[in-house]
Structure 1
Amino acid sequence: MKPEKPSGPIGSSVTLDGDWVRNATSRMDLTPRIEGRLAYTTDQRHLPGLLHGAILRSAHAHARITGVDISRAREMPGVHAVVSAADVPGPNRFGIVIRDQPVFCDERVRYEGDSIAAVAADTPEQALAALDVIEVGYQPLPVVSDAALAEQQVALHNSHEEHGGSNLLARETLERGDLEDAFSRCTVIVEHHYQTPRQMHAFMETEGGVAIPDDNGGVLFRVGCQSGHRDAEQLADILGLAHDQVTVESTATGGAFGGKDELTVQPAAGLLALKTGRPVMIHLDRFESCRTGIKRHPVTVKMTTGCDAAGRLLAHKVEAVLDTGAYASLGPAVLENYLDHATAPLYRIEAYRVSGRLVYTNNGVCGAFRGFGGNQATFAVESQLDALAGKLGMEPSAFRQINLRSPGDAGSRDQTVRWTAPPAEVLAAAVASPLWRCHDAGTGRWLTGTGMAMGAQGNGLGDGLPDSGGGRISLSPAGHICVEFGFSDYGQNIVESIIQSVCNGVGCRETDVEVALGNSRGPDSGPTSASRSSVLVHGVLARILPGWMNLVRGHAAGLSGHPEDRLVFGPGGLYFNDHQVLSYRELAASVNLDELSASASQDFPVAPDAEQPVGRYLQLQIATVARVAVDRLTGRVRVTDLHHVTAAGRVIYPPGYLGQIEGAAVMGQGMALTEDMTTRDGCYLADNLDQYLIPTFHDAPVQRVDVLDSTPEDDPFPIRGVGELGIEAVAPAITAAIEMATGVRIRRLPVDPGDLLVGMAAQEQAL
């Protein structure tokens, strides 16, 4: 049944279609990326003296190491160096939040991807052969594999005394109001358990990079990473070097999505480079990437939610367990974001208690992943709303409209938030989607259904975390406007967005702008994560450009003899009375370029009225409408259409906006239907993409992306980051569509065709 259309106007909207994309890309040369000719980090095989590295991984998910003998490996043909824990000159630990992961294990291994030693040789084959003769003695230990029971099992990190040396890494609770009283006044209460999978990033270019020693005892790293400055700091400590002896160049990568936020091959490559005095490249193959790479946190949660007879949400209780695996990585930040989203930030709820536990296990390592915990929480929250609406006999959209926040309302944690469009308008536009009009449940083999879910996503790293970034603008000797940021480019179109922003601000053409990213010697812009880059680019450029343009005008006036206040920036140079009087190249050749450089930085905006800074002050919204077809014979689900209504500020670069929403949505589709890195006794059951099934072009649905934008002209934050927004509501929209088609609501992801068939059979028997 098509949802009732909520009352109230629908704001002006724009559909990002092919014409928008073609017009926006006509002057941007994306051909190398599209055709696969963009050079990645591990394409640098031309370096003189290059050696190839390989890493020995643990043979057990959990064991004590009784000995490591690398003597035979050192004598193997082509081998130039073998390193282990004894060769680490600094702290033998790394980690973004807690440095608890060994560079090389010497006492204990905690997951099957743990590093024990590394080899540098003339060829990859010789390096692998040397690994085979390294002898490691193991004493197997009990494997902690069930997150729900982890706190009662053998502690994997005895140093964490905060929780008595148990496997509890972090615990957090958010609450408001009198929960017991609120539940006592509920007419309808629903309680369900939800489970989301351990998902793999599956980027095109697996983890890799090269370490190049210099003549002064330092190292240059060219790697795929998401924070060159943070990596350089950790690597300098590990290698026992001064911080200015380590440089990280974060080169273009074939995707990251959070999976390259943590150090991967860098410590081993750096140690081997210093040991040999030659460049060393390490590039994981797909099998090793599957085994060792960061994964999405699997979450199990019990959610209890109640409302009154009119559908007003009164009470909400959440009890979640997140499996962080063997090491912390960004687990504590993911827990915080999960709980933030579990408070249902789009909706008014009188009272809630949202609690979560983050536990260690031997199940690999989990960390940052697109959505960052938010989409796991939204799946459960939106499913709860549908369940309540069903109990009341109310349309899901009407139920949501009753509870949606309005502009000016405080956030779910009583903080100020900034929306770019009223939530009711986003909902109304979703209800007006043409996907509802074409609904036909089907009576043959294929059952079809349409469902909808909403989501909110905030930009920034979150509560209390250091979150600032800077940039620099100058004039290059070649006469280009050079813009530098520390952000990495891993396919999110940040270069194109920067170019568009500079062109809009200066009035120049794209070919006048040169962008330099990801060098730890340049400005520290913070990590390329949490959809923060676009916000900081806009804010920093807004601070830099006016002063820099005045600086350039002053020098140009002295050179040209024209009044400073009459000089205008334009394509190729500066103009007076519509005639170019000085090109950027001429200007660059006539002045000291150091005098034409300007820098600025800013703290990422947080809610201004809280004693403790509340992150995600800049809120984005999405409503996703999904249409599915379910095979009654096999239980397989095919997503045929997705329609996204977004409210995420102004669109600077349409192809980038469209690509981010569509790409994230397909990743969400994988989470909903096929992707799960399951484990047995701490070991992954899949080791390649023929067993771990990600959506392909064949599986990708037809997608439409609409943009609602009511951002005022004087809004200080008109630009938001959309890298994670598209994934937010996909899974609950798909499961809502499955329920419309079959009558079965799925609460464990990915959808298991067998479970769906059992549910469908039960539905048919009940009729």
Structure 2
Amino acid sequence: MTTEFRASVVTLDAGSDDSGSLTTELYRRIEGRLAYPTDLLDIPGLLQGAILRSEHAHARLLRVDTTRARRMPGVHAVVTADDVPGVNRFGIVVRDQPVFCVDRVRYEGDAIAAVAADTRAQAQAALAAIEVEYEPLPLVSDAMTAEQQPPLHESSNLLAQERFDCGDVDKAFAACHVVIEQEYRTPRQMHAFMETEGGVAIPDGTGGIVFRVGCQSGHRDVGQLADILDLAPSRVTVEAMATGGAFGGKDELTIQPAAGILALKAGRPVMIQLGRFESCRAGMKRHPVVAKMKTGCDANGRLLAHKVDAVLDTGAYASLGPAVLENYLDHATAPLYRIHAYSVSGRLVYTNNGVSGAFRGFGGNQATFAIESQLDALARALGRCPRELRRINLRTVDEPGSRHQPVRWTVAPVDLLRQAQQSPLWTLQKETSGRWLTGTGMALGAQGNGLGDGLPDSGGGRIALTPGGRIRVEFGFADYGQNVGEAITRAVSKGLGCGCGEIDVVLGHSRGPDSGPTSASRSSVLVHGVLRRMLPLWKAAVRQQAAVLTGYSLDHLAHGPGGIFHLGQRVLSYRELAENGRLEELVADAAQDFPVAPGQEKPVGRYLQLQIATVARVAVDRLTGRVRVTDLHHITAAGRVIYPPGYLGQIEGAAVMGLGMTLTEDMPMHEARMQRNNLDQYLIPTFQDAPAQRVDVLDDTPGNDPFPVRGVGELGIEAVAPAITSAIEAATGVRVHKLPVDPGVLLKGIHRQENLA
């Protein structure tokens, strides 16, 4: 039986939300009144903390003398590895990163000591007084040869390797009419948050400690911090506060261990915020990838064989590198396309090149850049239209995924392609002479929700009535701009028939329900599922007490604005219920596991698949080789849209981040040292660089779909790079295989093409 999708198409714009209401939280965010962790300067007794970083990318640590620093004016605490109360290690997947280095430093951002003083200037002066003696060690700076170099940790520099296989790939290649082999390189990208890593650690007066920080999983942080500080988890509280961006870069611990140790040592609150220079040097980066791809098809363009060998540079410590490797390889199997046989393998290696970890796209967009470029190259070799080659290879909604797992699509992939083919960007006039060369290109991408294969992935929430009669909804997620607070408010408002102003949403508190990390575009899916379980429980409990208090039949009571109604008339306000009822019984909790592909012997993640087609229009300067992206048109299929402005913002914002990765953003290394230390050198796109964008939504989600809502935080970045490089090729005849695009290299390619003409 073939499933037929009849997708409706909606174009989103800034006016797509017609609800006419904004929550108090959203007003505060728009007006700039939402507190960041490092705005908390009025805490009594607050000290300023600072971290001493290594001067070397790799060296033996011979001596750390803090004697002078401890005597400096205003200094209240100086700590080193000897002062770590518990385990001197942290890391989400592998606890291989020291809080403070003991005998060796492995990258130039490694922490050696920390200071707490009355002022930031005094803290910096004390750091300068700490004497450190190093013995430089040979550098491991090339990921491609890292496995042959002396190990940075106990064993090999090979941290992880994985492969996915399907069929006899050698036999399949032998049957190919055309085979394309190419190497692709993607950059070490920086998150470039509006607010750098920071927060405050506050002793609670009873031996415990409270962290108010920028982080993406307060509950997970509690587990690591409790071990580091040698405290029971119940003595550690984390409040994940809204910050100016995260994008994966605050998934790992940042300043929390140093701030916590200083606060316990000094007995006073300690704030640490990394300056931009320090954030550039020590902060998390996107994994640079070198991938060799070989892809073949028959004379009709049917994909027969595909082989990938990728190397990911995780830097000095693991962080979430093993999970990024798995997601990269999952995308490298080309989940949108039907391939007869493939062999996809990857290695994750240690180097002295900083630390790489979670980053929006999580390895998927690096793989998609190469996959979509391969398809364009095959089409060119066959003399076929790239869009037609894609059409004949796209999976249907009834086929299993690329790893033989069941997949839940929201629309048929071919419908997405059809809409992309109708984009008005294809009709714009092409300039083939003069200074500016213009062209249009496109790429497809698929992105799954959830943490992935076999990783624990569940989340819960809570709803209660406060003593003041407010509806309080709690989730452990932090809201970093994905509008999860707004989505919760709207869903509860709809479910209870009340106004948004009656609801208080509390997010990111480790003493509340554990919802798991704010990552992998998972929060929207879990919020919808948990609320679907939780709201009926709470409504039943409220109506039960209302029946006792009012004397009306339970069957004739209903929720509405401000309270409980009987036959259309409000008979009990929520305030009256709070004052006269039993509040301890008006609490409902619910949780669920994130949905994974059913019926698999080994869990296979990304069961919920999202799709995007990005059409790009570029203008290339023949004098300089500079590329200007003038238009991006995204056609998305990601389930039901709950909050249109939020959906639009996520797609457009992710696309601009992908624009930076494609054209300007890179953190080059020289002898394992970062070559950019500020945003005047590391160039992120500004409003001046942002193209005109259009976002279309394909959605035919049935009302009884168990997973109607998907998370789109990463979807917008998925296909941007290959769409832009496809458009560059359309304009110039030059295909780019290394990102970011080098204007000089592109210019040489343009001149070469013109000389051949």
Could you say which TM-score interval applies, normalised by the shorter chain?
over 0.9
Q: Deviations over 1:224-243 (max 9, x none)?
A: 00000010110010001111
Partner residue of 2:599? Answer: 609
4+ runs deviating over 4 angstroms: 22-29
Question: Is this contact kept in 1: 2:652–2:693, CA < 8 A?
Answer: yes
CA-CA distance at 1:500 after TM superposition = 1.1
Partner residue of 1:73? Answer: 69
Question: Is this contact kept in 2: 1:190–1:388, CA < 8 A?
Answer: yes
Q: Deviations over 1:295-340 (max 9, x none)?
A: 0000000000000011100000000000000000000000000000
User: Bigger shift: 43-52 or 578-587?
Assistant: 578-587
Question: Is this contact kept in 1: 2:5–2:412, CA < 8 A?
Answer: no
Which amino acid is 2:95 matched to?
R
Partner residue of 1:152? Answer: 148
Supply the RMSD in Å over aligned alpha carbons: 1.1
CA-CA distance at 1:36 after TM superposition = 2.8
Q: How many residues align?
A: 754
1:121 aligns with 2:117: yes
Question: Is this contact kept in 1: 2:13–2:645, CA < 8 A?
Answer: no
1:636 aligns with 2:632: no
Residues in 1 aligned to 2:68 and 2:442: alpha-carbon distance in whole angstroms: 61
Which amino acid is 1:107 matched to?
D
Question: Is this contact kept in 2: 1:25–1:655, CA < 8 A?
Answer: no
Which amino acid is 1:104 matched to?
F
Structure 1 SS opposite 2:260? helix
TM-score w.r.t. length of structure 2: 0.99
Partner residue of 1:567? Answer: 557
**Of the candidates 181, 196, 199, which is equivalent to residue 209 of structure 1?**
199
Residues in 2 aligned to 1:19 and 1:655: alpha-carbon distance in whole angstroms: 8
Question: Is this contact kept in 1: 2:303–2:338, CA < 8 A?
Answer: yes
CA-CA distance at 1:535 after TM superposition = 0.4
User: Bigger shift: 16-25 or 624-633?
Assistant: 16-25
CA-CA distance at 1:438 after TM superposition = 1.5
CA-CA distance at 1:35 after TM superposition = 3.6
Question: Is this contact kept in 1: 2:636–2:698, CA < 8 A?
Answer: yes
Structure 2 SS opposite 1:315? strand
Structure 2 SS opposite 1:628? strand
Q: Deviations over 1:505-532 (max 9, x none)?
A: 2211101111011111110110000000
Structure 2 SS opposite 1:668? helix
- Aligned ranges for residues 162-201 of structure 1 at < 5 Å? 165-201=155-191
Question: Is this contact kept in 1: 2:77–2:116, CA < 8 A?
Answer: yes
Residues in 2 aligned to 1:391 and 1:283: alpha-carbon distance in whole angstroms: 53
- Aligned ranges for residues 392-431 of structure 1 at < 5 Å? 392-431=382-421
Q: Deviations over 1:358-379 (max 9, x none)?
A: 0000000000000000000000
CA-CA distance at 1:443 after TM superposition = 2.0
- Aligned ranges for residues 249-398 of structure 1 at < 5 Å? 249-398=239-388
Which amino acid is 1:498 matched to?
I
Structure 2 SS opposite 1:148? helix
1:86 aligns with 2:82: yes
Question: Cα 1:629–1:25, aligned 2, differ >3 Å: closer, same or farther?
Answer: farther
Residues in 1 aligned to 2:522 and 2:508: alpha-carbon distance in whole angstroms: 15
- Aligned ranges for residues 629-708 of structure 1 at < 5 Å? 629-708=619-698
Structure 2 SS opposite 1:18? coil
Question: Cα 1:23–1:270, aligned 2, differ >3 Å: closer, same or farther?
Answer: same
Question: Cα 1:521–1:452, aligned 2, differ >3 Å: closer, same or farther?
Answer: same
1:101 aligns with 2:97: yes
Structure 1 SS opposite 2:696? strand
Which amino acid is 1:464 matched to?
G
Structure 1 SS opposite 2:712? coil
**Of the candidates 451, 458, 462, which is equivalent to residue 461 of structure 1?**
451
Question: Is this contact kept in 1: 2:89–2:99, CA < 8 A?
Answer: yes
Which amino acid is 1:748 matched to?
K
Partner residue of 1:133? Answer: 129
Question: Is this contact kept in 1: 2:182–2:293, CA < 8 A?
Answer: yes
Partner residue of 1:5? Answer: none
**Of the candidates 455, 465, 470, which is equivalent to residue 475 of structure 1?**
465
CA-CA distance at 1:210 after TM superposition = 0.3
Question: Is this contact kept in 2: 1:473–1:597, CA < 8 A?
Answer: yes
- Aligned ranges for residues 18-57 of structure 1 at < 5 Å? 18-21=14-17, 23=19, 26=22, 30-57=26-53
**Of the candidates 515, 518, 526, which is equivalent to residue 528 of structure 1?**
518
Residues in 1 aligned to 2:384 and 2:474: alpha-carbon distance in whole angstroms: 53
Partner residue of 2:13? Answer: 17
Which amino acid is 2:411 matched to?
A
Residues in 2 aligned to 1:322 and 1:226: alpha-carbon distance in whole angstroms: 23
Question: Is this contact kept in 2: 1:24–1:655, CA < 8 A?
Answer: no
CA-CA distance at 1:477 after TM superposition = 1.4
TM-score w.r.t. length of structure 1: 0.97
CA-CA distance at 1:258 after TM superposition = 0.2
Question: Is this contact kept in 2: 1:10–1:428, CA < 8 A?
Answer: no
- Aligned ranges for residues 569-588 of structure 1 at < 5 Å? 569-588=559-578
Residues in 1 aligned to 2:27 and 2:670: alpha-carbon distance in whole angstroms: 43
Residues in 2 aligned to 1:200 and 1:24: alpha-carbon distance in whole angstroms: 37
Unpaired stretches in structure 1, ≥5 consecutive residues: 1-7, 159-164
- Aligned ranges for residues 428-577 of structure 1 at < 5 Å? 428-577=418-567
Residues in 1 aligned to 2:614 and 2:429: alpha-carbon distance in whole angstroms: 16
Q: Percent identity?
A: 71
Which amino acid is 1:717 matched to?
F
Partner residue of 1:742? Answer: 732
- Aligned ranges for residues 752-763 of structure 1 at < 5 Å? 752-763=742-753
Question: Is this contact kept in 2: 1:67–1:137, CA < 8 A?
Answer: yes
Question: Is this contact kept in 2: 1:219–1:246, CA < 8 A?
Answer: yes
Residues in 2 aligned to 1:308 and 1:507: alpha-carbon distance in whole angstroms: 58
Q: Deviations over 1:453-484 (max 9, x none)?
A: 00000000000100011111111112121111
Residues in 1 aligned to 2:149 and 2:396: alpha-carbon distance in whole angstroms: 46
CA-CA distance at 1:19 after TM superposition = 2.3
Question: Is this contact kept in 2: 1:10–1:429, CA < 8 A?
Answer: no
Question: Cα 1:310–1:199, aligned 2, differ >3 Å: closer, same or farther?
Answer: same
